[in-house]
Chains A and B, each alone.
Chain A
């Protein structure tokens, strides 16, 4: 068990392309940290640098207080689970899991004990004699995790482990991974492009974009208090609506004036925070779930709004409605019982207590 520290980590490839541009991150002992971001954001590269599979161009990585920059992967005491499982095809499940321990010259009895214990945790005991090709995707992923668990390493590294599984299995394995972590409590760094996976698994989520960290925080914090437009738009599904607007003074308060003349008052508690931006253009950000006809959840600062749906998507537990507001596509989450119709104006409520204002000049949340 150990903490992992990244200090000013840079990864530059030949030709000067920087995949990772100097990131700092402190991961606590036992913590489950998820690196999330779109493809090419540098999350996998960061993970591979922690693993020792990529050289670090600049900066320092420490695992359990020891700087590991020049330590080869096998001496870093880490275990990694790959997207394509990377099981050794010619070995049985048992041999796959035992391989790392065999190389490290563990006594046979100890290997056997650890493999059986891991197999029990992962519920793969009946599969121990099989070859990987006789396993389903989910079973292979369990074996890959088993191979990591038996080593009892300081850190687990997961590189998009669920991306090759179908949707249903992915949800199942997600729960499985969380369970395993709760059992073994090993410090874990997990990479994914799926924000739902990130929010559900992580103690802390690290949102990355273009080789930098946009924000680090617990899932709820990222959802409720995104620091940048990128995080606001990346976390949450469907994505947050961004509507170009103008912030204007109005009788002691502030109004958000959307192109087309629609005006929404800023809740009094936030007026002071936004005062400096009065008279300037802003992006009005509001999540679909806060643009709704549902009056029950939050009774404060509800502002009526009338919009005409262009597309209606019933989802069962809710209905999504898509609108066009002055050239911007926006969406709202409706109660499934709402009689929404395409082309017919719909009365909505904007939960102004949940909205965000973004400075379009810096893309930072104000």
Chain B
């Protein structure tokens, strides 16, 4: 993976174009840096503004004079108010509960499904694999009316566990697809060797495929985690009691009262909600990229 980006050393002497090559390269570097800086500014402006707002007092936020990008009297009162609020801690706990359950369910199903679809050649496995991917192409917003009826029928409306039932319909197809791609990059001689060594299918999966495909599994896990943690539409539709709400809608529903926006706490809540994914990505980014590109490069 890393070798592709290694810069080529310029041989000296024979190649007289070396000078112009260097100029070209310099130009490429400049334009790359400029576009990256522009992109970074656009991307980072909202979270930075959120951070600034979250450490202002309500009075300072309401005060329209002065530079809004400047904090005159920084304070942690918004954060403390949230953290000390049992309801807010409840939102956080609900998010954790739902996410852990969804990630576990998604990974068990998608690893088993991907192994079966990608490795155990059986009649129709190709069609099925494509079908799994197609389901991912159906927009969430189309699904939530029928899903509402199903969840309602099961009596799980306004219940965080109802979300555990719903999110895997979004995560499993994509995770399965990532895992099929990753498993496909594992040479088939490896399963044949394991088969001859005496492994059965389950041992082959647990002893060989899961350890070898760990980067892919991490990528799929991150994806499932993100979907589940950041989901907004489904909990908005399915959950009404604050005691069952996850962070995403809890913060919004409780900190906006009619036309009164508790901006400081809203921003603090949003940042706290964004923290777990940021931490996960920061540590596992390399695996995530390796996992997503594995199928393409046979890495």
A and B interact = yes
Interface positions of A (Cβ within 8 A of B): 51-53, 72-74, 78-80, 82-84, 86-90, 99-100, 103-104, 147, 151
Known: A74-B199, A84-B189, A90-B214. 16 other contacts (CB 8 A): A51-B196, A52-B195, A52-B196, A53-B196, A74-B197, A80-B193, A86-B192, A86-B193, A88-B193, A90-B212, A99-B197, A100-B198, A103-B197, A103-B198, A104-B198, A151-B197
Chain B, 80-137, CB within 8 A of any chain A CB:
none
- In the complex, chain A residues whose CB is within 8 Å of the CB of B199: 74, 103
- In the complex, chain A residues whose CB is within 8 Å of the CB of B74: none
With contact pairs A88-B208, A88-B212, A90-B211 given, residues A74 and B198 touching in the complex (Cβ less than 8 Å): yes
- In the complex, chain B residues whose CB is within 8 Å of the CB of A79: 196
CA separation between A146 and B212, bound complex, in Å? 21
**Which of B189, B198, B199, B200 lies at the interface centre, i.e. has the most chain A CB atoms within 10 A of its CB?**
B198
CA separation between A147 and B214, bound complex, in Å? 24
* B29 part of interface (Cβ distance < 8 Å): no
A91: shortest Cβ distance to chain B, in Å?
8
- In the complex, chain A residues whose CB is within 8 Å of the CB of B196: 51-53, 73-74, 78-80, 100
- In the complex, chain B residues whose CB is within 8 Å of the CB of A82: 189, 192-193
- In the complex, chain A residues whose CB is within 8 Å of the CB of B192: 51, 53, 73, 80, 82, 86
- In the complex, chain B residues whose CB is within 8 Å of the CB of A89: 212
Chain B, 203-253, CB within 8 A of any chain A CB:
203, 207-208, 211-212, 214
Chain B, 160-218, CB within 8 A of any chain A CB:
187, 189-190, 192-200, 203, 207-208, 211-212, 214
A302: shortest Cβ distance to chain B, in Å?
52
Interface positions of B (Cβ within 8 A of A): 187, 189-190, 192-200, 203, 207-208, 211-212, 214
User: Could you jot down 22 A-B contacts, CB within 8 Å?
Assistant: A51-B192, A52-B195, A53-B192, A72-B195, A73-B195, A74-B198, A79-B196, A82-B189, A84-B187, A84-B189, A86-B187, A86-B190, A88-B193, A88-B194, A88-B208, A88-B212, A90-B212, A99-B194, A99-B197, A100-B197, A100-B198, A151-B197
A144: shortest Cβ distance to chain B, in Å?
8
CA separation between A309 and B77, bound complex, in Å? 98
- In the complex, chain B residues whose CB is within 8 Å of the CB of A84: 187, 189
CA separation between A112 and B190, bound complex, in Å? 23
Cβ contact within 8 Å between A103 and B208: no
A317: shortest Cβ distance to chain B, in Å?
38
CA separation between A88 and B196, bound complex, in Å? 13
Cβ contact within 8 Å between B195 and A74: yes
B193: shortest Cβ distance to chain A, in Å?
4
Question: Which chain A residue lies CB-closest to B187?
Answer: A84
B258: shortest Cβ distance to chain A, in Å?
57
- In the complex, chain B residues whose CB is within 8 Å of the CB of A151: 197
- In the complex, chain A residues whose CB is within 8 Å of the CB of B200: 74
- In the complex, chain A residues whose CB is within 8 Å of the CB of B197: 74, 99-100, 103, 147, 151
CA separation between A314 and B79, bound complex, in Å? 86
CA separation between A340 and B143, bound complex, in Å? 84
CA separation between A14 and B138, bound complex, in Å? 35
